[in-house]
Amino acid sequence: MTHNDMKSTKVKVDNLYYTEDEEKEIRKRYRRILRAARPFIDDEDVKNIRKAYNISQDAHKEMRRKSGEPYIYHPLEVALICVEEIGLGATAIICALLHDVVEDTDWTLEQIRGEFGDKVAMIIDGLTKIAENFEQSQSAQAENFRKMLLTLSEDVRVILIKLADRLHNMRTLASMARNSQLKIANETIYIYAPLAHRLGLYSIKSELEDLYLKYNEPDQYREIASKLKRRKSAREKLIKDFMKPISRRLEEAGVKFHIKGRPKHIYSIWNKLKKQKVTFEEIFDLFAIRIIIDDLPEDDRKVEKAACWQTYSIVTDEYQPKPDRLKDWISTPRANGYESLHTTVMSQAGVWVEVQIRTKRMDDIAERGYAAHWKYKGNDTSINAPLDQWLNQVRDAFGSGDHSAMQFVEDFQTNLYTEEVFVFTPKGDLKVMRKGATVLDFAFEIHTEVGKKCTAGKVNGQLMPISHVLNNGDQLEILTTKNQKPSEDWLRFVVTSKAKSRIKDLIKESNKVYVSDGKEVIKKKLKHLSIEDTLEIHNQLRAFFNKKDYNDLYYSFGKGYINADEIKKFITKRDATQNKQKKVELEQNDFKNAKNFERAIKKSNGNDTLLIGDDMQKIDYVLARCCTPIPGDDVFGFLTVTEGIKVHRSSCPNAKQLLSSYGNRVIKAMWTSQIQKSYLATISLEGIDRVGMIQDLTKVISNELHINMRSLNIDTDEHIFHGNIKVYVTDTKHLDKLLSHLKNIEGINKVVRQEQMEEEVTVL
């Protein structure tokens, strides 16, 4: 998100910069920061924080956010999040207060360096976006993500402050325009929530995910939130009754503890509803009970571990555990440092309850992540080992190579929300790998030289190919030969960023000749077609052939994967598109004066169209095949290079990547009316088979609702049937009515609208 999205032009209030109430509020927020930080800052820190506060207040004095509030509220709130919710100190507070000063005001980085030193200047530089002077096909967002992420090798506080910045912007997203909300929310779920997860900031990660859902799927968010609220009193009673026998046993054993009961956050529930195709009522673990053990020595891991297992024993003595739900992250913590025992047990009320058992130290680290580790680390370097290891992997994976910003961000993002497998070297050293990692991934994890010569692996003594996927507990030895060379085929099965990055670098080095040849092929063909060889033409070719960068384009031509004659096809299609766009421009004249949605509808005369852009104009568009939107769906327009505007549903499988990487190409789109035109939708059904079931289905669809049916496919297995029906509906309300009628048929257990198969994203 750009900070320009969150503020408007310079404003004065009653010839003053702030009203009297605003000045009081500013001072109140500043004092709250100092109170929260007081336990771990000294007088010199207070002096520097005050200086940063004064600079920020003066620099932003004429600025207001979209909500109308003074802009200074934002850096103050970001600083407060850094202190209260992440646990950072004086340097982070100073940087949070100043994080927009260089980007948005006349202050320079050198002036900041002169006032606060190199460390603060380096962090501020990492938080400052680069100038957005890229070509349309490039992603300014990706370039800024890359700049920020590369600072992991310098100071992780850049990322932590950026997360605080993003959290406050998400909390105040209501004042933004709809297309900006979609862009910012999808950036958040694509990169920032996974970052918070990887850095162990559970509370921030959960809130970012919930806020994403609030703006991306508002109806579903409100529905789940309402159901959780209605069940609050029943949930509290269940927790109280559930804990009575456990509390008594723990007190008898002399264990000091306290209890936290919390519902699963809304995004997590929504994810389960979506993935498992179940109803809200069918989710058995809607909340968790956390037993936190107090007053244990923080430097004695054996005592902590014994206390957790003692508590686990008491819980499972009282309630029957679900055998497959025990998770021991105390013996082997997660890669983000998370430690806890999880089990799911059957309560006396007949409800499954998830129980999490941990010490106060473990809970602090689980909630506040990376920053909390330093509070407990002391002389024990093992405490921070998982996070340090991950950060070293990030630095190593991205410390070399010149891949495109988009490739960089995609590779990084795939390594955030991942589970781990634990494997061992021949000497018994533990290595934590991404789930799905192969023998070849492990070889590159050991060393690049080992990876590029890897020919096979011995896994638990058995010879396995380099593509073999590793499992927890595997012990493996890498076999190498001098003549082995990396190939593009390797990229199909490696999953770690380090392996992908190293393989690409090695291939790029050996393929330079093909890149040069491909560039020459394009040059000659363009000359033959009497077309000027310009960077813009190369950029259009890159987009047309769906290549990530120019080298990828040139290599494909040089290697012969793309024939030179394909360029003529591209030119023909481009010219046709340009002619079509000229026709569209003529059609727009009737809508140039449309000032609002109502007037635009009147102009549309009920035609099947969308109103596009801030001015709500009638513009040609293409419905994206990846999500096939129909009237009534929440949609957005996406400006492509060669195909005009494509309209996607906001819940499209590809929306996260498009909105988070190319937000500057997102356009408002709204339906003018609910037109009686048919759109193909697929419905999945499940239920108990019986005589007359198909007759009842067709009766509801064809006779009662008069809906045309394209196909009906039903499979039965031991009296349980699964089926798909393809029908033509006019809009989402029409479809919802059909789903409601189908659910009332005897024997039907589940009826859902089936999402379209996700296509490969082509950013044209």
User: How far, in Å, are 43, 67, 701, 712 from residue 707 at the CA level?
Assistant: 75, 46, 5, 13
Confidence of residue 533 (pLDDT cuts 50, 70, 90): confident
- Are 235 and 288 in contact by the 8 Å Cβ rule? The answer is no
**421 beta partners:** 433
Number of H helices, E strands in the chain: 31, 22
> What residues have CB less than 8 Å from 124, skipping those under 6 apart?
95, 98, 99, 101, 102, 109, 112
Selecting among 69, 103, 115, 517, the annotated active-site residue is: 103
DSSP, res 699: I
- Are 206 and 31 in contact by the 8 Å Cβ rule? The answer is no
In angstroms, the CA 537 to CA 569 distance is 14
Confidence of residue 81 (pLDDT cuts 50, 70, 90): very high
Render pLDDT for 3-21 as a digit per residue (tens, 0 to 9): 444 443 343 434 468 888 8
Half-sphere exposure of 105 (CA within 13 A, CB side): 21
Angle 99-103-104 from CA coordinates, rounded to 5°: 100
What pLDDT, on the 0 to 100 scale, is given for residue 212? 95
CATH 3.30.460.10 is held by the domain 225-377? yes
**464 beta partners:** 457
* Identity of residue 281: E
Q: Give ranges for CATH 3.30.70.260 in the chain.
A: 679-753
Instruction: Tell me how crowded residue 411 is: count the other CB atoms within 10 A of its CB.
Output: 19
**Secondary structure of residue 440 in the 3-state scheme:** helix
Q: Are strands 454-459 and 352-359 parallel, antiparallel or unpaired?
A: unpaired
What pLDDT, on the 0 to 100 scale, is given for residue 759? 38
Q: Where are the alpha helices (DSSP H) in 319-384?
A: 360-368, 370-377
Confidence of residue 151 (pLDDT cuts 50, 70, 90): low
16 — phi, psi (to 5°)?
-120, 160
Q: Give the distance, in angstroms, between the CA of residue 354 and the centroid of all CA atoms in the same chain.
A: 26
Inform me whether the pLDDT recorded for 434 exceeds 70. yes
Selecting among 58, 104, 115, 686, the annotated active-site residue is: 104
> What residues have CB less than 8 Å from 444, skipping those under 6 apart?
450, 451, 454, 494, 496, 498, 499, 502, 503
Confidence of residue 753 (pLDDT cuts 50, 70, 90): confident
- Are 289 and 353 in contact by the 8 Å Cβ rule? The answer is yes
Give me the count of residues in the chain.
764
| Span of 59-63, 605-609, 719-723 with lowest mean pLDDT | 605-609
Render pLDDT for 389-412 as a digit per residue (tens, 0 to 9): 666 655 555 554 445 555 556 656
Mean pLDDT of all residues in the chain?
A: 79
> What residues have CB less than 8 Å from 234, skipping those under 6 apart?
none
> What residues have CB less than 8 Å from 162, skipping those under 6 apart?
127, 148, 192
In angstroms, the CA 349 to CA 368 distance is 33
Mean pLDDT calculated for residue range 48-67: 91
297 — phi, psi (to 5°)?
-65, 125
703 — phi, psi (to 5°)?
-85, -45
**Secondary structure of residue 250 in the 3-state scheme:** helix
What pLDDT, on the 0 to 100 scale, is given for residue 190? 83
Tokens, residue 451: 């990876």
Farthest-apart Cα atoms in the chain, separation: 90
What pLDDT, on the 0 to 100 scale, is given for residue 250? 93
In angstroms, the CA 617 to CA 620 distance is 10
Closest to 276 in 3D by CA, of 634, 712, 750: 750
In angstroms, the CA 303 to CA 305 distance is 5
644 — phi, psi (to 5°)?
70, -140
Any idea which residue has 């010199």 for tokens? Answer: 44
Closest to 353 in 3D by CA, of 319, 330, 328: 319
Question: By CB neighbour count within 10 A (0-12 exposed, 13-18 middle, 19+ buried), where does 638 fall?
Answer: buried
Angle 456-387-444 from CA coordinates, rounded to 5°: 20
The CATH number of domain 679-753, selected from 3.40.50.2000, 1.10.1370.40, 3.40.50.720, 3.30.70.260:
3.30.70.260
In angstroms, the CA 406 to CA 483 distance is 33
Strand positions, DSSP E, 322-475: 327-328, 341-346, 352-359, 420-424, 430-434, 454-459, 462-464
Closest to 221 in 3D by CA, of 510, 634, 533: 634
User: How far, in Å, are 220, 580, 587, 659 from residue 584 at the CA level?
Assistant: 36, 6, 5, 25
The string of DSSP codes covering 449-502 is: HHHHTEEEEEETTEEE-TTPBP-TT-BEEEEE-TT----GGGGGT--SHHHHHH
Could you give the percent of the chain with pLDDT greater than 90? 25
User: How far, in Å, are 6, 60, 157, 498 from residue 65 at the CA level?
Assistant: 6, 11, 25, 41
Strand positions, DSSP E, 213-256: none
CATH top-level class of 386-510: alpha beta
Question: By CB neighbour count within 10 A (0-12 exposed, 13-18 middle, 19+ buried), where does 141 fall?
Answer: buried
Q: Are strands 352-359 and 287-293 parallel, antiparallel or unpaired?
A: parallel
**353 beta partners:** 345
- Are 667 and 213 in contact by the 8 Å Cβ rule? The answer is no
Catalytic site residue 517?
A: no
Q: At what angle do helices 118-127 and 157-171 cross, to 10 degrees?
A: 50
- Are 321 and 343 in contact by the 8 Å Cβ rule? The answer is yes
400 — phi, psi (to 5°)?
-140, 175
- The residue ranking higher by pLDDT, 567 or 74, is 74
Tell me the whole-structure pTM to 2 decimals: 0.64
Q: At what angle do helices 140-150 and 118-127 cross, to 10 degrees?
A: 150
Mean pLDDT calculated for residue range 659-688: 72
Inform me whether the pLDDT recorded for 95 exceeds 50. yes
What pLDDT, on the 0 to 100 scale, is given for residue 31? 95
> What residues have CB less than 8 Å from 526, skipping those under 6 apart?
532, 533, 537, 567
- Are 694 and 714 in contact by the 8 Å Cβ rule? The answer is yes
Half-sphere exposure of 63 (CA within 13 A, CB side): 21
Mean pLDDT calculated for residue range 84-97: 91
Q: Are strands 320-321 and 341-346 parallel, antiparallel or unpaired?
A: antiparallel
* Identity of residue 563: N
Inform me whether the pLDDT recorded for 719 exceeds 60. yes
**Secondary structure of residue 285 in the 3-state scheme:** coil
Domain 3-176 is classified in which CATH homologous superfamily? Hypothetical protein af1432 (1.10.3210.10)
Q: Are strands 708-717 and 679-688 parallel, antiparallel or unpaired?
A: unpaired
The three-state (H, E, C) secondary structure of 66-77, written as one string: CCCCECCHHHHH
Mean pLDDT calculated for residue range 151-180: 84
Quick one: which H or E segment has residue 639?
A: strand 635-639
What pLDDT, on the 0 to 100 scale, is given for residue 130? 54
199 — phi, psi (to 5°)?
-85, 5
Render pLDDT for 491-509 as a digit per residue (tens, 0 to 9): 999 988 788 888 888 887 8
Catalytic site residue 252?
A: no
Mean pLDDT calculated for residue range 309-315: 95
Render pLDDT for 592-645 as a digit per residue (tens, 0 to 9): 433 344 444 444 444 445 666 554 455 677 888 888 887 778 888 888 766 778
Q: Give ranges for CATH 3.30.460.10 in the chain.
A: 225-377
What pLDDT, on the 0 to 100 scale, is given for residue 674? 36
In angstroms, the CA 471 to CA 606 distance is 59
